[in-house]
Structure 1
Amino acid sequence: MTVTRYASGRKRHIPPGRPPFLGAALALVCGMVAIASGTAAPAPAAQTGPVPDIRADYTVYVGGLMFAEGSMHATLTDSAYLLRNSLGSAGLPSRVWDARWTMTSEGRIADDKLQPTRFTFSATEKSETKRRLMVYDASGTPELTFDPPLPPEEATTTQPFERKNTLDPVSAFLLPVIADGNPCDRKIPVFDGKRRYDLQLVFDKNDTVTTRDNGYSGEAVRCKVRVTPRAGMEPTRFTTMMRRRDDTLIWLARVDGRNIYMPVRVQLRTPIGGAVLDVVKLQQYATAEGPSENIAE
C-alpha cells in the first residue's frame, strides 16, 4: 500500500519500506564521494570504451546496517576524465526496496577544476526505469532531457544562471589540485538535474584511516563538509542536518600517483542514525607497463 505524506502543501506518494529521506540521502552521499555503484558492477573485460585506471568498491551503512553497495570505474588522463558508476540497495533494505542507480560522467580536467561535458543517470525501482541526461554547452550550462518527461509537480525550478558552471553529483568529488595543494577549502556547486546545492569543504586535519575490510589504509586529508541548498530542495530534517558542517566528514586520498584526490570514507548523520560510506576495495588496473595492484597495499 502506498503511503501518502504532505510536504509544502502537495501530496507525495512514497513506496512502502522506503524511508522518505533515503533517496536524497544516498544521492548526496554518492555525490559527495563521486563513487556510486550497483550490487553487480561489471568486470573490466565486459565494459566498452577505454579501460579504466581505477576501480573503487564501497558499502554504505546506516544505523549499523548495510543499506547499499557499489563500485566506480575511473579513466583519467592529464586533461580528461570518464567515470562509470552504479549503486544498489543491499542488505535488509533490499528485501523491501529493490533500487538501482547508474551514472556516467565525462569531461575535462583544467588545473584544479573539472569541466563536465556530459552526465547520464538511470534509476530503476520496482522494474520502472527513469533516465536523465545533462549535456553542457560552451558556457558550462547543462541542458536537460528526462525519459519519461517529468510531471509538472516534479519539474526543476532552477534557472539557467543557477546551473551555469556547476558539477554533476558524480564528478563533484573527484578533486584535482595544483602541485601539493589542499583538496579541501573549496566550495563545489552541484546540480543533479533537479536539485542545486553547494558543498563547502573545510580542512580539518591530515589523518590516517583504515576503511571497512581494509579497503584503504593509509594517509588521507579529512575535511568537514556543509551542504547549502540553493534550489529544488525542500526543507526537511535531513537537509537541516546536512547544513551542519561538524556533522559531516570526508576523508580524501591521493590516487594513481596524480594530483587528484577521491573520497575513501564519508561519515554523516541521518534521521535514523549515522551513515558511513567506506571504500572496501581500491584497485588500479593493469597497464602496458605492469600488472594491476591494490592501491591500499
Structure 2
Amino acid sequence: MANLGAGARGRSIVRGLVVVAAATVAWPSERAAALDTAWPSQLSAVYKLSFNGFEVGTYRFDGHFANGAYSAVSKAEVSALFGAFKWAGNFSGSGALEAAGLRPATFEMSYKKKKKFVSVKIGFAGRTVSSVALVPNKPPSPEAIKLKPENLKNVFDPMAAMITVSDARPSDACNRVIPVFDGKQRYDLHFSFKAREPLTERYPSGQPKELIVCRVKYVPIAGHKPKDFVDPWIDYNNIEFALRAVPKAGIYVPYRVTIPSPIGSAVMTADTINITAANNQQIALKQ
C-alpha cells in the first residue's frame, strides 16, 4: 500500500474515481430501445474500486425504469492506507426518457469529509438547471472561470450523463460529446474509439465476450480554476470507459472505468451485474 502514500494526490484521484462512479451503469436509450428491445425494469451492480492495483473499496448501484421514467441510487465506500483514509458517498438521480432524449429532473450527491458534511443538489426545468443547493454554500473562488447562464442549458447532471452513455448504436458508442454540470463545474466529456478488447468469462452469460474501449477526454468549460489543469495529477486526456453490450437487454453497461495519473491508475471494475429485462428474463454478468 506504499504507493497510496502519495497523500492528498492519491486521495484526490481515488475520490475522483468515486465521483465518476456516481452513475456509471447505463440505462438503455430511446435509440437502443428502438432495436426491437424494450427497456429493462431493473439493474443492480457491484463494482470493485482499486488504486495502483490495490483494492480500496466498492461501488453499488441500483436502478429502476418504469412508465418512461428512471430512478437510481448508488453508494461508494473507500478505505485506504489500512483504514487511515476513509470516504463514503451517496448518489441519486431521477428523470424521464423521452423521444427527444434524456430529460434529467433531480440529482443529489452527499458525503462526509472527516467531520464535515458535503452535499450537492441539482434541480432541472426542462433541460435547463433551475436550482443548485450546496452544503457548505461557499462563494466561488475568484480564480474560477465564471459560470454563464448558457452553461446551464442542455446539460446533464453526472448521473444523467452516464445514463446517456448508452444512447448509441454500436457505430457511435465511442463517438460523442456529453455536456455535464455537477453543481459547481461545467465540463464536456469527449468520447472517441480506442480499441476492442476480448473478454473471458468464468461464468458464461450468453452475451458477447467483447468490450468496446472508449478514450474519454475531460474538457473544462466553466466553474474551474485554470491552474488546476496545469500539470494536473489526473490525466484528463486519457480516461477510459470500457463498455459491454448486452443485446438481450438492449443496453451497454460500463464494465471498467480507468482514471490514469503519474502515481498510478484508479480503476473501477464490474464484479457482478444483474439485469431484469422487460420480459423478466434474468441476465447475470459476473467476473
TM-score by length of 2: 0.76
User: Corresponding residue for 2:215?
Assistant: 224
SS in 1 for 2:270: strand
Equivalents in 1 of 2:58, 2:202: separation in Å? 12
Partner of 1:238: 232
Query: For the structure 1 residues 231 and 218, does the alpha-carbon distance in structure 2 shift closer, same or farther, using more than 3 Å as the test?
Result: same
- Structure 1 window deviating more from structure 2 (65-74 vs 96-105): it is 65-74
Partner secondary structure for residue 173 of structure 1: helix
Task: Name the count of aligned residue pairs.
Answer: 263
Partner of 1:162: 151
> Shift of residue 27 of structure 1?
3.4
Q: Which residue of 1 aligns with 2:265?
A: 274
RMSD: 3.6
After superposition, what is the alpha-carbon deviation per residue over 1:211-254, rounded to whole angstroms, capped at 9, x for unaligned?
99999983222111111111122324337721x2xx33211123
SS in structure 2 of the partner of residue 281 of structure 1: strand
AA aligned opposite 2:70:
Y
How far, CA to CA, are the matches of 1:116 and 1:239 in structure 2? 31
Sequence identity, in percent?
Answer: 22
Alignment-mate amino acid for residue 254 of structure 1: A
SS in 1 for 2:150: helix
Aligned CA distance change for structure 1 residues 71 and 201 (closer, same or farther; 3 Å): same
> Which of the residues 184, 188, 192 maps onto 1:198?
188
Question: Deviation per CA, 1:36-61, whole angstroms, max 9, x where unpaired?
Answer: 9xxxxxxxxxxxxxx97111111221
Aligned mates of 2:82, 2:274 — CA distance in 1: 27
In 2: Cα distance, 1:254 partner to 1:172 partner: 18
Distance 1:249 1:293 in 2: 25
- 1 or 2 for the larger relative contact order (CA 8 Å, sep ≥6)? 2
1:43 matched residue in structure 2: none
Q: Deviations over 1:156-181 (max 9, x none)?
A: 94222112111111221222336655
Answer whether contact 2:17 2:268 (CA < 8 A) is retained.
Answer: no
For the residues of structure 2 that align with 1:230 and 1:128, how far apart are their CA atoms? 28
Does structure 1 retain, via aligned residues, the 8 Å contact 2:41–2:66?
A: no
Query: TM-score scaled by structure 1?
Result: 0.74
Distance 1:270 1:112 in 2: 37
Q: Residues 160, 190 of structure 1: CA spacing in aligned structure 2 closer, same or farther, 3 A cutoff?
A: same
CA distance in 2, matches of 1:142, 1:211: 45
SS at match of 2:151: helix
Per the alignment, residue 116 of structure 1 pairs with 104
Change beyond 3 A, Cα 1:121–1:156: farther
| Structure 2: distance between partners of 1:187 and 1:160 | 20
Structure 1 SS opposite 2:128: coil
Task: Provide the residue aligned with 1:40 in structure 2.
Answer: none
Q: How does 1:99-178 map to 2 (within 5 A)?
A: 99-111=87-99, 113-151=101-139, 153=141, 157-174=146-163, 175-177=165-167
**Could you tell me how far apart the structure 1 residues matched to 2:181 and 2:46 are?**
24
How far the C-alpha of 1:21 sits from its partner, in A, is: 6.3
Partner in structure 2 of residue 34 of structure 1: 23
> Secondary structure, in 3 states, of the residue corresponding to 2:81?
helix
Query: Paired residue for 1:250, among 213, 238, 241?
Result: 241
